[in-house]
Chains A and B, each alone.
Chain A
Amino acid sequence: MLTRRIIPCLDVHEGRVVKGVQFVNLRDMGDPVELGLIYEALGADELVYLDISASVEGRRTFTRAVERIASRLRIPFTVGGGVSTVEDIRRLLEAGADKVSLNTAAVLQPALLSEGAALFGRQCVVLAVDALAERDGYRVYIRGGREKTELEAFSWCRAGEVLGAGEILLTAIGRDGTRQGFDIYLTKKVVEAVNVPVIASGGAGRLEHFLEVFTEGKADAALAAGLFHEGTLTPQQVKLFLKDRGIAVRL
């Protein structure tokens, strides 16, 4: 039986893992390879590395970090952040990433999803969607949540799948960092709308939140950052909790 995945997410700035709120007050957390290996040992099923560097030099440093990660890590990992051309996708896959996530660029040039899928296979193209609940439904935001688009979240996820995305990384940006729990309604609706796997993100704070997002939300995977980085919980603890409640996990 296919298991549900627990995925820690790491923000990388200039080749170092950092922690900060809204990209300010960045605090150095360590080397992406060393932290990745620690999470692998702590039961992570997969990792996501997001490059938050804005400079060209930062991007180069990130690519070199991806090469080092691929050489050491024995679990799969996705990379994202600032990916805006087919060449960016190629560079990151050749560096050793298993999957590349597209967010802003996919909204601005949806053809990037189909080109990426045609060239490299849809299994390595992840559509990252930042959704915010508003009066008239869920809207898609881009540029790290700073810019609102005209897109409605469910139809964008469906369109992304048709275009070529092999997986959807769905973040409820209103929940991000709140520890109030995943947006179950949003997750469930997206899972029902598409036929590709969905990774739920945003709001994880307690063990029960993971259970909810898998049972009620029907997510295929759950992603969290702060709660793992601070050592509140380990992926292994989450998975033991889930297993006791009948959820298939890899232990």
Chain B
Amino acid sequence: MKVGVIAYTGGNVRSIRSALEELGAEVVYSDQLRMLRECAGLVFPGVGAALPAVHDLRSRGIWDWLPQWDRPFLGICLGMQLLGRETEEGPAPGLGIFPFHIQLFRAAVRLPHIGWNLVRWTQKDPLQEGLPESFYAYFVHSYRAEIGEYTIGMSEYGEAFSSVVRNGLFWGTQFHPEKSGNEGMQLLRNFLKLCKS
């Protein structure tokens, strides 16, 4: 099964690619629309800065096309943040798939928020299969999405924020599942299962 990993400026993607491959996916790592649209699912990895990412994706026609995607989609870290309305980082526009606004943590003492923090599921979801009610995941970010009806997992760092979100076939995680040990791998396994069905 082909899973696309969207290539863009600043993306360090070796870990997510190898994690998906380890789980049996055939990874299509590309910045070309015609390659990505053939995939059973898409992963939007998250590293680097927001604005260059938006420019890069726009120039390839991927940005404007993404909201029409009708198969499973997983945005990770920045890849999740860019699914919202806009982000203070840059500032940069978002895809508007989620209604959240990405803002700098308001109450945190120390930024970036780096390390392992607890993720607690707040709604039942196929991504949760085989995972406990709460688990540790690896975060590295300074901006966060507020809690909303799209929140299916939450975490706390000075304030509560969305760590897993969902709208239809679009999912997003603020943490890096590819860096979150066995639990992260289980979440990716669950996502691949969704791509298959």
What residues of chain A have their CB less than 8 Å away from a CB belonging to chain B?
1-5, 40, 45-46, 67, 70-76, 93-98, 118-124, 166-167, 195-197, 220-221, 250
* Residue of A93, A221, A250 most packed against chain B (CB within 10 A): A250
Give the docked Cα–Cα distance between A69 and B140 (Å).
19
B interface: dominant SS: mixed
For the complex, give the distance between the alpha carbons of A76 and B141 in Å: 14
17 CB contacts below 8 A, A to B, read: A2-B113, A70-B15, A73-B15, A74-B19, A74-B182, A75-B138, A76-B179, A93-B12, A94-B14, A96-B15, A97-B12, A123-B142, A166-B112, A195-B109, A196-B110, A197-B114, A220-B114
In the complex, the chain B residue whose C-beta lies closest to that of A197 is B114
Contact B184 A74 (CB under 8 A): yes
Do A195 and B115 form a contact, CB below 8 Å, given A75-B179, A94-B12, A120-B48? no
Listed from nearest, the 3 A-B pairs whose CB atoms lie closest are A96-B14, A71-B18, A250-B116
Q: Contact partner of A95 among B10, B14, B136, CB < 8 A? A: B14
B111-126, CB under 8 A of A: which get 1 and which 0? 1111111100000000
A85–B114 alpha-carbon span in the complex (Å): 24
Please determine whether B116 and A123 come into contact, CB atoms closer than 8 angstroms: no
Instruction: Let me know if B114 and A166 touch, CB within 8 A.
Output: yes
- Looking at the complex, which one of A2, A40, A74, A166 makes contact with B157 (CB distance below 8 Å)? A2
The interface residues of chain A lying within 8 Å CB-to-CB of B10 are: 119-121
Is B181 in contact with A40, judged by CB distance below 8 angstroms?
yes
Chain A interface main SS type: loop
A123 is contacted by which of B19, B140, B178, B179 (Cβ under 8 Å)? B140
Closest A residue, CB atoms, query B109: A195
B interface residues, how many (CB within 8 angstroms): 35
Nearest chain A CB to B130's CB is how many angstroms away?
16
Q: Which of A3, A40, A67, A72 contacts B116 (CB 8 A)?
A: A3
Q: B180: which A residues are within 8 A, CB to CB?
A: 74-75
CB <8 Å contact, B118 and A196 = no
CB distance from B154 to the nearest CB of A (A): 13
Cβ–Cβ contact A167 & B114, under 8 A: yes
In the bound complex, do residue A123 and residue B185 qualify as a contact, i.e. CB atoms below 8 Å apart? no
**Considering the chains assembled together, what is the distance between the CA atoms of A70 and B178 in angstroms?**
10
> A149 CB to closest chain B CB, in angstroms?
26
Q: Closest Cβ of chain B: how far from A151's Cβ, in Å? A: 23
Contact present for B114 and A3 (CB under 8 Å):
no
CA distance A76 to B10 in the complex (A): 17
C-alpha gap A72/B35 in the complex (Å): 26
Q: How far is the CA of A40 from the CA of B116 in the complex (A)?
A: 14
Q: Apart from A45-B115, A75-B181, A197-B110, what 7 extra A-B contacts exist at CB < 8 Å?
A: A2-B157, A3-B115, A75-B179, A93-B12, A121-B49, A167-B112, A221-B115
How many whole Å from B156's CB to the nearest CB in chain A?
A: 7
Q: A70-B18, A250-B116 are in contact. Are A76 and B157 (CB under 8 A)?
A: no
Among A70, A121, A167, residue most surrounded by chain B Cβ atoms (within 10 Å): A121
Question: B95: CB under 8 A from chain A?
Answer: no
Nearest-CB residue, chain A, relative to B158: A2
Q: Is B47 interfacial (CB 8 A cutoff)?
A: yes
**Which chain A residues lie closer than 8 Å to B182 at the CB level?**
74
Residues of B near A167 (CB, < 8 A) are 112, 114
Q: How far is the CA of A3 from the CA of B136 in the complex (A)?
A: 9
**Option from A1, A124, A195 in Cβ contact (under 8 Å) with B156:** A1
